[in-house]
Amino acid sequence: MRHQKKTVRLGRKAEHRKALLANQVCNLIEHQRIKTTLAKAKAVRPLAEKMITLGKNGSIHARRTAFSTLRHKDAVKKLFDEIAPRSTERNGGYTRIVRLGQRKSDSASMAFIEWVDAAVEEKPAEEKKTKRKDPEEKPKKETKREEPKAKEKESPAAEEPKKKRRWFSRKSGEAEK
């Protein structure tokens, strides 16, 4: 029986599961938010929160412990330099899981897992949409004219006009145009 064994196994052996969770946390650190199955998101959450706690500590020992788990120097650096300092006032609950519904292919429950204190990325002023001065003025579309392709060999069937098809009504049996 599995009494007192709370590890979510995810249908994988221990080493595969550790690598999967470490990669998920590294992607979460890099992209700030990832889309995954609900079961994986729930399994990633405790590991991600432990990494934030190590990042808040900030010691060399904490860095080495985080590196032994994540195995990516860049992820550990970003965790300690950018992500953990945002959560200094928070005592826990660094991640949020947002359910998305079912995946079409296999009906697996999908979810986003993201940092609660994620930095808001704003678009630069150049990329923001600007209102047109005159509402009736439409933006000009550039169209390319395609040159007609030269016919190499013309068949006699190509010169004949196409015949119009006649459709028959099922009820009356008469031809309609």
Against a cut of 0.85, is the pTM above it? no
Which two structure tokens, joined as six digits, stand for 110?
Answer: 């999908």
Using a 10 angstrom Cβ sphere, with 0-12 exposed, 13-18 middle and 19 or more buried, the burial of residue 42 is middle
pLDDT (tens digit, 9 = 90+) per residue, 68-97? 999 999 999 999 999 999 999 999 999 999
Asked whether the predicted pLDDT for residue 111 surpasses 90, the reply is yes
* All domains in the chain, ordered by first residue: 14-115 (3.90.1030.10)
Angle between helices 38-57 and 14-31 in degrees, nearest 10: 70
Half-sphere exposure of 28 (CA within 13 A, CB side): 33
pLDDT (tens digit, 9 = 90+) per residue, 27-50? 999 999 999 999 999 999 999 999
